[in-house]
Structure 1
Amino acid sequence: MSQVADRREAFVIPHHPVRDLLTGSVASIALTFVVVLAVGLFWVGPRFLSFGNMSIMGSFLIVPLIVGAFAGFALLSGVVDLSIGSMVGFSSALFAMFLTLGWDPWAAAPVTLLACLGFGAINAIAIVGFGAEAIAATLGMLVALRGITWVLLGPQGSIFSFNPGLFALVNQAVFGLPLFFLLAVALTLVAALLVSKSRLGRHVQAVGGDERAAARAGISVRNVRVVALLLSAFGGGLGGIVFAGQLGSAARATGVGLEFQVYAALMIGGFSILRGGVGNPIGGALGLLAVAGVSNILDLRAISPYYVNIIVGLLLLAAVLLDRFRGGDAYE
């Protein structure tokens, strides 16, 4: 038996970071992103990659990139947090309300984030503490937070909270691109390093890949999932603060449908909603960039934006089929 095992091990190809990156889901979405760029250049022309157009796209991508970088940890741990869109709306409304009350933005932001972490803790108690289904629990939180947001916004449905210093900071440009877009990209890279190089990242992937094996290895499944849900809530809170700073206001529509936009891009980028331990934040960011590129091409060509839904749906189907053909990337 030992000889047979030795022969099998001889045929096992060892993992190598570079090869895994080139043959994994990140490579697939990177190729898709390159195709989108090529189509844009061919169909729209040089203005597709002009600084002006890139700046517009970057401004719209800041919040989805921030939210996606944090929500990816929940997905990797095997938990789907559907409340991220409503968390963004709640955060923007609470932060805007504080500003209208005369609070300094640097004082309002931490309090807003603490409130979001509180709701993230409620998600964690329901899912980890009481074993509730993640989709059902976070769907309830989605509805509850949306209702709280409407209460905060009042009958007028919006709060005008323009702060000149905050607006100038959030909308500042560096080398022709929004500063906060570059910071969001940097945040994505940090998240990718945490996933691939840190102990936390390896534990999150292990728990999502096989929680029983992770528990046998001495990893606290409960603690990892609590941390992942808190990170997801923190990302939604941070995204809402940035949203309010960008627009100088908060409204009922803020964050509505954002969870579907983010999760669709994460799935296209290689994450899996049905099983954890699969995905890389870089792939998720490229998924967002690819979808935004498609939407921008249709806008510049004056084509109905409803076609974006068709293309995103096809990309999702392609991502699912590719994942099945590849046999999955479960954490080992």
Structure 2
Amino acid sequence: MKEQPAPLATTTDQDSPGSRRGERLSALAQQHGALVALVVLAAVASFSFDSFATGDNVENMAVSSAFLAVVALGMTFVIITGGIDLSVGSVFVLGGVLAAWGSQYGTVVAILLPLTVCGLVGLVNGLLIAKARLAPFIVTLATMLAARGVMLNITDEGGTTYLVDKDAFFAQLGQGKVLGIGTPVWITVVLFVIGAVALRRSRFGQHVYAVGGNEDAAALMGTPVARTKIIVYSLSGVLAGLAGVLNAAWLTSGVTILGIGMELDAIAAVVIGGTLLSGGMGFVSGSLVGVLLLKVIQNIINQIGSLDSAYQQVAGGAFLVVVIIAQTWLGRRRRVL
């Protein structure tokens, strides 16, 4: 019997060039939409306000963004695993107070003390979430209250503000400059480079994505789910504490009223930057763009002058809603394609 020729392969709708092109465009929009918005908004503000693009204003935005960016870096890893960390605002202010208090004993104590304490807070979060299998929202809400309680106890209910000697080496971490750029900005850039490499090029980064994508499947493939969660939450605590250290060095004091709502700003920046709240997808660079975008919006409102600070929260919240809707729509469109 004569062999019949194999049927010619046909191109399905899912494999068509148009579908693949649409999927790539949707992915690019989801990943880099915040960057496009940042560039457009900054360009419009530069033409609209004479003082926006000045060196002093840009430097002030860069330095003030550095502290939130460091917190958002840790939050990025947490959210990619499908978790949340509501304690970072309180840990941030606790780190700043401990750094200011420890500065009287030298720079080493001013840095290591808050990093150790804040890292322990993150470690407790990780252990309770990974080992006791408690909900991240509840655990980090509890440690948020506990960390702020410790801070209030150290500062006599906020009545005592510890000061940093402006001539001390520790103060240079916040007020010093390298090549005309503030030291906190350089430290933030280095941390984000390390974070990007760890997330995209290391086995640990693969574990982070795997846990966020499907925790049960990750466990079946041999991924150390519990250890990954513990490391991620510990890292978030250390970075929040480090942000507090840099802020205390910048202000030369451990201000007790800071950090309120900072966890929400960090979450907003991470989500605006393209990281999915459901986990499994995210980018370190996107979180940095999200922070800068929030700061540009805040600065524009300040430039207008006739709007009070409440509009900053309104604008940030509205923008976050738009981003979440866009992410959901783009995600569905990619699945359809």
Over 3 Å counting, the alpha-carbon distance change for 1:282 and 1:215 in structure 2 is same
1:242 to 243, 246, 265: 246
Cα distance in 2 for partners of 1:26, 1:207 equals 20
SS at match of 2:223: coil
- Count of aligned pairs: 322
Q: Is the 8 A contact 1:25 1:279 kept in 2?
A: no
Q: What TM-score do you get using the length of structure 2 for normalisation?
A: 0.87
State the Cα distance separating 1:265 from its structure 2 match.
Answer: 1.2
* Map of 1:232 onto structure 2: 236
Q: Which residue of 1 aligns with 2:74?
A: 70
State the shift of 1:285 in Å.
0.8
Contact 1:51 1:176 in 2 (8 A): no
SS in 1 for 2:52: helix
Give per-residue Cα distances to partners, 1:226-247, cap 9 Å, x unaligned. 1101110111111111111111
Deviations 1:175-208 (A, max 9, x none): 4431221321232232122222221111101101
What is the aligned partner in structure 1 of residue 290 from structure 2? 287
TM-score (norm 1): 0.89
Q: CA deviation at 1:104?
A: 1.1
CA distance in 1, matches of 2:16, 2:253: 60
1:42 aligns with 2:42: no
Aligned to 1:173: 177
The reply on whether 1:213 has 2:191 as its aligned counterpart is no
Shift of 1:251: 2.3
Matched-pair contact (CA < 8 Å) for 2:69–2:291: yes
Supply the AA of the counterpart residue of 1:90. L
Residue in structure 2 matched with residue 323 of structure 1 by the alignment: 327
Distance 2:215 2:18 in 1: 25
RMSD: 2.7
Number of the residue aligned with 1:127: 129
**1:85-234 mapped onto 2 (5 Å cutoff):** 85-99=89-103, 102-155=104-157, 156-164=159-167, 165-234=169-238
CA–CA distance in structure 2, aligned partners of residues 189 and 21 of structure 1: 26
2:279 maps to 1:276: yes
Give the Cα separation in 2 of the matches to 1:136 and 1:124: 12
The residue aligned with 1:83 is: 87
Match of 2:3 in 1: none
Q: CA distance change for structure 1 residues 243 and 210 in 2, over 3 Å: closer, same or farther?
A: same
Q: Which amino acid aligns with 2:112?
A: P
| Residues 55 and 176 in structure 1, CA contact (< 8 A), matched pair in contact too | no
Where 1:230 maps in the other structure, the secondary structure is helix
Tell me the SS of whatever aligns to 1:132.
Answer: coil
Residue type matched to 1:283 in 2? G
From 306, 311, 326, the equivalent of 2:310 is 306
Any conservation in 1 of the 2:94–2:114 contact (CA below 8 Å)?
A: no
Other structure's SS at 2:162 match: strand
Does the CA contact (< 8 Å) of 1:37 and 1:293 recur in 2?
A: yes
**Residue 10 to residue 301, structure 1, CA distance change in 2 (3 Å):** closer
SS in 2 for 1:251: coil
**Equivalent position of 2:33 in the other structure:** 28
Amino acid at match of 1:125: L
Contact 1:59 1:178 in 2 (8 A): yes
Q: Helix, strand or coil for the counterpart of 1:272?
A: coil
Give the superposition deviation at 1:267. 1.2
Compare 321-330 and 118-127 and name the one that shifted more: 321-330
Aligned to 2:299: 296
Q: Distance in 2 between matches of 1:243 and 1:105?
A: 14
Aligned partner of 1:277: which letter? Answer: G
Report how far residue 22 of structure 1 moved: 7.0
Shift of 1:28: 0.5
Bigger Rg, which one: 2
Gaps (5+ residues) in structure 1?
A: none
- The structural deviation recorded for 1:284 is 0.9
Post-superposition shift, 1:173?
2.5
3-state DSSP class of the match of 1:149?
A: helix
- 1:42 Cα deviation from its structure 2 partner: 2.3
The ranges of structure 1 where at least 4 consecutive aligned residues each deviate by more than 4 angstroms after the TM superposition are 6-15, 19-22
